A and B are shown apart, each in its own frame.
Chain A
């Protein structure tokens, strides 16, 4: 029983990461009908932004809560700006083109980030930038406190991750359904042209969507790096794909769906690796996706929309 509960804790801790990244996929898809494959790499940039900020502040020598806060907010701002830049320069010029064009561009942006970060360092900074393909040690943002509850080990990092993920999901739900910006977002999602005619600033709404998604990716990147302190430029590849699976599983375009999808995927992987064979972990993740798409092509929470012919 303890083993089962321990797997539950572990699975939730991985699942929240998937969920946070999946939220970004889902929002951009909801508004633009674009799968932003560069999103997993924004998550990687988030972790590295935290890495450089931590070193600039000297977090490793003396971790304090205010410093952790600065690192968090700083990385979120950097990723938010990156999200806007990607949208402005890579996607906006292609918005009127066939959707496939944007999809290919998304893959291009993803490669640009992954391999750009693997270039040899320019040598201008004390911590090498770009970092190159060698994994870097991420200094702990705050003191880790471990608890043991009847043989089940968990830490404040796990609790913070879960709380942050749920907090952001509620916040998003609030933004989407309770604010003027959210109303505009939903209008653009429904029909960008008509929304534009009604006086909605479509460009600003779309840029705002990218900011929200990228900020969440930064949070996910920091939470991962805080508990698994080895980061490298390709870390977003697999996590990005898994989060995409989670988003599709929950019904892409649906906020609670992304959250549930992430948690289900994290738990499924954990139990497969714990009780069956860990080599099947990734296979299971994608098998779940295929099975889901066969039974419910629109995903768990997705609504089937009749295509207008």
Chain B
């Protein structure tokens, strides 16, 4: 029991620390930023864990964007500094990291997360502390809304939302692949996957298609053959699996092992080099919706691909492009803002109209979502190839 007293003391301090009024913090943050010479940008990302490539690509691209801006003299003559905290792909870690960035490091702007379930954990904290947050790639509509359905004043995104993304794949399946019977396999514990599956089903049925069965799995599972066998007996023409790449690759392998030849369809959660490393050709014939393709010959995209490649030695995936755009939109708003307080930057973020990003023209609408076209990538020979663009 020697340690009882120091422990109790530590607990007391911890409680005292929490009692600080959150409303005071943005002012304190702004003051700190004005006093110091640097502007701190916080990034919460899954640098490790089952979706490690999401965090890694996004973080690299953000770093690239900030460094390029610093070479041009930074923002308001001050250097931008990035602080990234890892959440290991867990929502509870994401909220801890956010609290740390906001209350200890007093960041000016928050970037992150890629996964909707983790952005949902971050959003209330950003809102409460009046720190503007931009998620690069979270597509679930609820990320920018509070529980009452009102738009969260401090939460923004630079990507399209799931009602649109689900529609895109429904259209592609119905009009390009010309299938009528589709089965759905959704990740039940994932807000992103559930949302996407619902929107896909609604649109696909509206277009005259039929959902023959709707099965579920959990991302941490390793064995999906039970659900796949049940799907097989319903003889669908395609299977919609709006999950994350780790599970999707295993699902694809196991589907082929069961002798199923249907194409698998999915969303932007598939976008990772690891998908193909594990799938090893099992996804051929499938397709997924995405934010951008590095094959697009537009000069702005090719220029970004070249700079990213030069620095990191890899082709940027769409999460990198989205991360880059999130950083650019944040920089743009900070430059236009009268000072670097949360409310001032927030006001300017809302005014973002027709901003030229790598993934297209970004306009933030009243619900704080970006309105942008989506691309569909088809998978051939274990590689994603540009198939078509679908406009909102």
List residues of A whose CB falls within 8 A of some B CB. 2-3, 6-7, 10-11, 13-14, 118, 120, 132-135, 137, 144, 146, 148, 151, 153, 155, 224, 228-230, 232, 234-235, 238, 269-275, 277-279, 281
Contact = CB atoms under 8 A, between A and B. Distances in A.
Contacts of A151: 259
Contact of A274 (B188, B217, B230, B249): B230
B215 interface: yes
Nearest to B228: A10
B222 A230 contact: yes
Please name the 9 residue pairs, one residue from A and one from B, whose CB atoms are nearest each other, closest first: A273-B226, A10-B225, A134-B52, A228-B222, A3-B233, A153-B259, A274-B226, A133-B49, A6-B229
A229 B282 CA distance: 13
Interface of B: 48-50, 52, 88-89, 188, 215-218, 220, 222-223, 225-227, 229-230, 232-233, 246, 249-250, 253-254, 257-259, 274, 277-278
A133 B227 contact: no
Given A229-B278, A230-B246, A277 B216 contact: yes
Contacts of B222: 224, 228, 230, 235
Contacts of A281: 226
A224 B220 CA distance: 14
A228 B216 contact: no
Contacts of B250: 228-230
Contacts of A135: 50, 246
A10 B218 CA distance: 17
A153 B258 contact: yes
B220 A132 contact: no
Contacts of B49: 133-134
Nearest to A158: B257
B226 A10 contact: yes
Nearest to B185: A278
Contact of B188 (A10, A275, A279): A279
A278 B226 contact: yes
A274 B50 contact: no
A30 B105 CA distance: 54
Nearest to A270: B226
Contacts of A269: 226
B230 A230 contact: no
Contacts of B257: 144, 146, 153, 155
Given A137-B278, A153-B259, A228 B223 contact: yes
Contacts of A7: 226, 229
22 contacts: A3-B232, A6-B225, A6-B229, A10-B223, A10-B225, A10-B226, A14-B223, A118-B48, A133-B50, A133-B88, A134-B48, A134-B50, A134-B52, A135-B246, A151-B259, A153-B257, A153-B259, A238-B220, A270-B225, A273-B230, A278-B215, A279-B216
A271 B226 CA distance: 7
Nearest to A277: B216
A10 B246 contact: no
**Interface hub of A3, A133, A269 (most chain B Cβ within 10 A):** A133
Contacts of A274: 226-227, 229-230
B386 to A, nearest CB: 26
User: Interface centre among B52, B89, B233, B249, by most A CB within 10 Å?
Assistant: B233
Contacts of B50: 133-135, 232
B229 A10 contact: yes
Nearest to B50: A135
Most central of A118, A134, A151, A234 by chain B CB within 10 Å: A134
Pick the most buried of A118, A135, A146: most chain B CB atoms within 10 A of its CB: A135
B101 to A, nearest CB: 20
A273 B246 contact: no
A273 B188 CA distance: 13
Q: Which of B52, B220, B257 has the most CB of A within 10 A?
A: B257
A174 to B, nearest CB: 31
A11 B223 CA distance: 10
A88 to B, nearest CB: 28
Contacts of B274: 137
A281 B258 CA distance: 20
Interface centre among B220, B229, B250 (most CB of A within 10 A): B229
Contacts of B223: 10, 13-14, 228
A246 to B, nearest CB: 15
Contacts of B232: 3, 6
Nearest to B254: A228
Given A135-B246, A230-B250, A3 B259 contact: no
A235 B246 CA distance: 14
Nearest to A134: B52
Q: Which of B49, B50, B188, B226 has the most CB of A within 10 A?
A: B226
Given A6-B229, A13-B225, A133-B50, 5 more contacts: A10-B229, A118-B48, A148-B259, A151-B259, A155-B257
A28 B257 CA distance: 36
Contacts of B249: 230
A145 B188 CA distance: 33
Given A153-B258, A228-B250, A230-B222, A275 B278 contact: no
A10 B89 CA distance: 30
Contacts of A2: 233
A151 B215 CA distance: 21
Contacts of A277: 216
A84 B232 CA distance: 46
A229 B230 CA distance: 22
A265 to B, nearest CB: 13
A3 B45 CA distance: 42
A117 B39 CA distance: 36
Nearest to A225: B222
A166 B188 CA distance: 35
Given A230-B278, A274-B226, A132 B48 contact: yes
Contacts of B216: 277-279
A224 B259 CA distance: 20
Contacts of B215: 278
B229 A3 contact: yes
Nearest to A148: B259
A281 B223 CA distance: 12
A15 to B, nearest CB: 11
A112 to B, nearest CB: 18
A11 B250 CA distance: 17
